[in-house]
Amino acid sequence: MPMKDPADIIDAVLSRHRDDPTRLLQILRETQEELGWLSRKTLAFIARGTRQPLARVEGVASFYSFFHTRPMGRYRVLWSDNITDRMLGSARLMKEMCQKLWLEPGHVSEDGLVSVATTSCTGMCDQGPALLVNYNAIPRLTSQRVAQIVELIRTETPISAWPGEFFQVDDNIRRRDILLANRLNRGDALRTAIVRSPTVQAESSANERTWQDSNLASAPGPLLTLEEIKRANLRGRGGAGFATGTKWEACRNAAGSGPESAHCVICNADEGEPGTFKDRVLLTTQADLVFEGMTIAAYVVGARLGMVYLRGEYRYLRDHLEKILTRRRSEHLLGHNILNQAGFDFDIEIHFGAGAYICGEESALIESLEGKRGVPRNRPPFPVTHGYLGQPTIVNNVETLAAAALIAANGGDWFRSIGTEKSAGSKILSVSGDCERPGIYEYPFGVNVAEVLSDCGAIPAKTQAVQISGPSGVCIASDEFQRRIGFEDLATAGAFMVFNNERDMFEVARNFSHFFAHESCGFCTPCRVGTTLLKNCMDKIEAGHGSEYDINEIFKINHLLQTASHCGLGHTACNPMFDTLQKFRPAYQRRFKSLAFEPAFDLDLALSQARQMTGRDDADAHLKNTMEVKE
Amino acid sequence: MSTNTSPTFLIDGEEISFQPGQTIIQAALAAEKYIPHLCFHPEFKPHGSCKLCTVKINGRPAAACTTQAQAGLNVESDIPEIKDKRRTLVQMLLVEGNHFCPSCEKSGNCMLQALGYDLGVMSPHFAQIFPVRPVDASHPDILLDFNRCILCELCVRASSEVDKKYVFALAGRGINKHLIVNAESGRLADTNFSPTDKAAQVCPVGVILPKRVGFAVPIGKRKYDLKPISDISSRPALPSGGEGSTGQLASGGSLESAK
């Protein structure tokens, strides 16, 4: 096959996206898929095409982990570096892979064939260790599988020709409740919502008012559905727990601006919190319900535009989701005049993230959708009034939207009768770590941790801790296992990582500190610098140079992050250290050589360059202090 | 300026009057009440990234530059708890970049250094991060020393909003975030940057420096050598500052010409 001219490739991508600068992420991703990496020349071409400065395009490309502004291997292997992957041996397997490939982690092989590095949790914690090869997920790695992969890379076998079983991702649904066991047919929820409104504006559409216009007045259907959502007491499933009905109502009541005024519904599928993978399973098994929830939301707020922001790690779901969207269009559940309701126009488009945890924060997500760096906005104004392209926008978690569809079908009272007083409905937990049956567990709210542990085959007596809701959540110790999942007690986005008595809780916290330092967007000083200082502090302790002084430093930085950070990432970045220091302090202290102070500066290490230059390595060329540490 | 009918709020017990629409820092500076800041500039929209202006508003911490003034607020700024946080923030900025004040042309005119002195920062406290940030000396008239960049984005904003040249942008993420210039070569010489650009005038530290005018004013006789940064009267009026302006954001004036 003759080589295509890069300029033609980029041109084709640009025209697919109508040279639209707001589609920059998708343009960069598709260009990189063809060209392997994004040179400044490539970026300049894209900048000209989208009519924006090169530096801005470069700023966007360099923000996301999955875009490469330097040459990468033709095979790009990224090992998921969550603590659960590590507990399953990912570090050893990655070392094996690198040795077999004669490669240093983080480097590209000299022939440009392959690079191996780590990435933040890829959402395969129940079937780790996992990796991404050219952004295709491969779970359940073993030494044998690593050897097979190395061979396929060495022989330059195209990934499309790799055995399909490598890429098989399991759902591992272990417990179903109202959501995962629902028996709704496609369109049931929508039809129920529409029937709830006896007449839909045939008259007003005859007057050439749009359905959206009339919706802002007092059309009964959308309002009645909104009432059901409010009555259901549905709260956001992404972790923060904001009341969904209140969000929808504020968006519905907000007037858009400009000639392009249009409300917007966004599904937040940027499931980046380490240990969370329930949205992956929901989108695999309940995509229709999620899309139906988005359509219900559009019906309530009067939106025409729907977008799913899907994390880049889940790119393999694309064909599956597109197929379902196509089917829904053909069944009049999406598109023009949905279910023959004049003017009910709504469609959904899938956008991919590119490796940035911060884009799970709703305003950063919107920035990313607009083709920018994923930096959280200053608020107010909030997205419900000024969201995507300045228009009223709701951003809801995947699970929230699925629950909304259930409510539209079955009513708010039904939903509210499940769960607890303040936490209506069910919660899907992503269980991983030290248990026999990791996977997806759906419970009515109010279930206690001990019950989940026994269901998943973890032995409570041998379990020392559970990390609830990921690194940004809370780490609970064995004397807290009676605590309950729910907004009253343990609010969670779903992650449930189990640690047995053998695990080193310091290493758990250290892994999380690296995660936050890697994922800080860098906008505000406290988080940008503080997360790196925390990581350095933890590495210092790990290297045997820690003391109580460093613990005080961690608390001091924690206090600053909590008070001065721009967004939730900074506010919570210290939680893992804070919790483990409160509950598992000996895990830190047994690494201390001195209780008061130990310098981070390593005198002997500082001499290593001099040793190298003089070719010496005798005892006299070493200083004493680290000889002790190294032993 | 404020009339008797203007609404007021309290900063450290002092009554500050404000015009509706002003942020806390705008109202404070217009009233000659200093709140430390680096990324805030009266001629530009609030940015909210440096967090030096963090204050307590009715007991809750928030950035004074992005919070709207409201009648009756109780703002605490000059209190040990908040000053301690600001000190830590300055220390973080000091270890994040490579700052060698004694040899820096901006010494004495540098807001970061001046804030360090004003807040009583005696050392960087944290271990230096020592990032590798090569200088760009390609431009005939301007030197870019990225080592001193504190990522306030003022040059980015000035170049895009005022100069309409888009010479600067931010790249990278987290601790690797850094300033870049808009050229395929990556060099300032290959942009249309000019020493008369607004972007050349706004750097609070010593990143964007004119060539061949080094040390025209001796160290010891510079702006913040004479008066601490918290003494607002040490500030020269900005060229665009409107006399008697009451703090309209775009018109500048509120801060620099308030006296």
Average pLDDT over residues B230-258: 41
Mutate to test the interface with B, among A529, A535, A553 (most CBs of B within 10 A): A529
Q: Would residue B6 count as lying in a domain?
A: yes
pLDDT at B24: 97
pLDDT range class, residue B240, cuts 50, 70, 90: very low
Q: Calculate the dihedral angle through the C-alpha atoms of A33, A34, A37, A41, rounding to the nearest 10 degrees.
A: -130
B225, pLDDT greater than 90: yes
pLDDT tens-place string over residues B75-91: 999 999 999 999 999 99
A520, pLDDT greater than 60: yes
Average pLDDT score, chain B: 89
Q: Would residue B83 count as lying in a domain?
A: no
CA of B85, closest CA in chain A: separation in Å?
A: 6
Give the ipTM.
0.90
CA-nearest residue to A553 within chain B is B126
Contact B48 A378 (CB under 8 A): yes
Q: Would residue B86 count as lying in a domain?
A: no
Interface of A with B in 61-80 (CB under 8 A): 62-65
Question: Angle CA(B212)–CA(B113)–CA(B11) in degrees, nearest 5?
Answer: 130
pLDDT tens-place string over residues A327-360: 999 999 999 999 999 889 999 999 999 999 999 9
Burial class (CB in 10 A: 0-12, 13-18, 19+), A541: buried
Contacts of A556 in chain B (CB under 8 A): 88
Contacts of A519 in chain B (CB under 8 A): 174
CA-nearest residue to B168 within chain A is A55
| A41: nearest CB among B173, B175, B184 | B184
pLDDT tens-place string over residues A274-320: 999 999 999 999 999 999 999 999 999 999 999 999 999 999 999 99
Interface of A with B in 595-614 (CB under 8 A): 600-601
Contact A556 B61 (CB under 8 A): no
- Percentage above 90 pLDDT, chain B: 84
Contact B171 A529 (CB under 8 A): no
Buried b (16+ CB within 10 A) or exposed e, B198-211: bbbebbbbbbbbee
Higher pLDDT, A379 or A60: A60
Answer yes or no: are the C-beta atoms of A471 and A553 closer than 8 Å. Answer: no
Mutate to test the interface with A, among B51, B98, B115, B157 (most CBs of A within 10 A): B51
3-class SS letters over A182-199: CCCCCCHHHHHHHHHCCC
Alpha-carbon radius of gyration of chain B = 18
pLDDT at B146: 97
- Percentage above 70 pLDDT, chain A: 94
Beta carbons within 8 Å of B1's beta carbon, 6+ residues apart: B30, B244, B246, B258
| A528: nearest CB among B126, B177, B180 | B177
pLDDT tens-place string over residues A4-42: 788 999 999 999 999 999 999 999 999 999 999 999 999
Higher pLDDT, B106 or B257: B106
Contact B93 A536 (CB under 8 A): no
pLDDT at A624: 65
- Percentage above 70 pLDDT, chain B: 88
B17, pLDDT greater than 50: yes
Q: Are residues B158 and B50 part of one domain?
A: no
Answer yes or no: are the C-beta atoms of B97 and B147 closer than 8 Å. Answer: yes
pLDDT range class, residue A203, cuts 50, 70, 90: very low
Answer yes or no: are the C-beta atoms of B26 and B11 closer than 8 Å. Answer: no
Which residue reads 């939903």 in tokens?
A: A415
pLDDT tens-place string over residues A116-140: 999 999 999 999 999 999 999 999 9
Answer yes or no: are the C-beta atoms of A344 and A338 closer than 8 Å. Answer: yes
Check if A573 contacts B (Cβ < 8 Å). no
| A564: nearest CB among B54, B95, B176 | B54
Q: Are residues B236 and B221 part of one domain?
A: no
**Which domain CATH number covers B60?**
3.10.20.740
Interface of A with B in 524-543 (CB under 8 A): 524-526, 528-533, 536
Contact A63 B173 (CB under 8 A): yes
Average pLDDT score, chain A: 92
pLDDT tens-place string over residues A355-372: 999 999 999 999 999 999
Number of structural domains (chain B) is 2
A2, pLDDT greater than 90: no
pLDDT range class, residue A219, cuts 50, 70, 90: low
Contact A531 B174 (CB under 8 A): yes
pLDDT at B4: 60
Distance CA(A410)–CA(A403), nearest Å, equals 10
Question: Angle CA(A396)–CA(A399)–CA(A403) in degrees, nearest 5?
Answer: 95
Strand stretches in A244-364, DSSP E:
263-269, 303-310, 347-352
Q: Are residues B201 and B120 part of one domain?
A: yes
- End-to-end, the C-alpha distance of chain B in Å comes to 11
Q: Would residue B3 count as lying in a domain?
A: yes
Supply the range of the domain harboring residue B125. 100-226
pLDDT range class, residue A593, cuts 50, 70, 90: confident
B134, pLDDT greater than 90: yes
Contacts of B151 in chain A (CB under 8 A): 522, 528
pLDDT tens-place string over residues A453-495: 999 999 989 999 999 999 999 999 999 999 999 999 999 999 9
For B2, what's the count of Cα atoms within 13 Å in the CB-facing half-sphere?
21
Contact B173 A62 (CB under 8 A): yes
Check if B120 contacts A (Cβ < 8 Å). no
Q: Are residues B108 and B74 part of one domain?
A: no
Alpha-carbon distances, residue B249 vs B46, B204, B241 (angstroms): 9, 19, 11
Interface of A with B in 362-401 (CB under 8 A): 373, 378
Distance CA(A520)–CA(B175), nearest Å, equals 8
Check if A519 contacts B (Cβ < 8 Å). yes
CA-nearest residue to A375 within chain B is B173
A518, pLDDT greater than 60: yes
pLDDT at B214: 83
Token pair belonging to A209:
């008012």
pLDDT at A204: 41
Average pLDDT over residues A404-428: 96
CA of A276, closest CA in chain B: separation in Å?
A: 23
CA-nearest residue to A519 within chain B is B174
Check if B168 contacts A (Cβ < 8 Å). yes
Q: Are residues B133 and B23 part of one domain?
A: no
Contact A525 B93 (CB under 8 A): yes
Distance CA(B188)–CA(A388), nearest Å, equals 34
Contact A55 B171 (CB under 8 A): yes
Q: Are residues B61 and B171 part of one domain?
A: no
| A59: nearest CB among B150, B170, B184 | B170
Q: Are residues B204 and B238 part of one domain?
A: no
pLDDT at A205: 40
Q: Are residues B166 and B111 part of one domain?
A: yes
Q: Would residue B90 count as lying in a domain?
A: no
CA-nearest residue to A41 within chain B is B184
CA of B62, closest CA in chain A: separation in Å?
A: 7
Contacts of A64 in chain B (CB under 8 A): 173
Three-state DSSP state, A403 = helix
Contacts of A40 in chain B (CB under 8 A): 184, 186
Contact B93 A529 (CB under 8 A): yes
pLDDT range class, residue A601, cuts 50, 70, 90: confident
Three-state DSSP state, A440 = strand
- Helical packing angle, A54-61 and A40-49, nearest 10°: 120
Strand stretches in A27-148, DSSP E:
75-80, 114-119, 131-133, 136-138
Answer yes or no: are the C-beta atoms of A376 and A364 closer than 8 Å. Answer: yes
Three-state DSSP state, B156 = helix
Contact A526 B127 (CB under 8 A): no
Contact A560 B177 (CB under 8 A): no
Average pLDDT over residues A400-416: 96
pLDDT at A619: 85
Distance CA(A618)–CA(A150), nearest Å, equals 39
Average pLDDT over residues A528-541: 96
Domains of chain A by range and CATH?
6-61 (no CATH), 75-170 (3.40.30.10), 193-415 (3.40.50.11540), 427-501 (3.10.20.600), 506-589 (1.20.1440.230)
A628, pLDDT greater than 90: no
Distance CA(A219)–CA(A200), nearest Å, equals 7
Q: Would residue B126 count as lying in a domain?
A: yes
A207, pLDDT greater than 60: no
Q: Which of B234, B210, B258, B194 is nearest to B42 (CA)?
A: B258
Mutate to test the interface with B, among A379, A528, A566 (most CBs of B within 10 A): A528
Q: Are residues B196 and B215 part of one domain?
A: yes
Contacts of B93 in chain A (CB under 8 A): 525, 529
Average pLDDT over residues A197-205: 45
| B175: nearest CB among A41, A53, A528 | A528
Q: Are residues B206 and B131 part of one domain?
A: yes
Alpha-carbon radius of gyration of chain A = 26
Q: Are residues B243 and B190 part of one domain?
A: no
Contacts of A21 in chain B (CB under 8 A): none
Distance CA(B232)–CA(B239), nearest Å, equals 17
Distance CA(A369)–CA(A389), nearest Å, equals 9
CA of A521, closest CA in chain B: separation in Å?
A: 5
Contact B49 A566 (CB under 8 A): yes
CA of A170, closest CA in chain B: separation in Å?
A: 33
Q: Are residues B121 and B6 part of one domain?
A: no
Answer yes or no: are the C-beta atoms of B219 and B239 closer than 8 Å. Answer: no
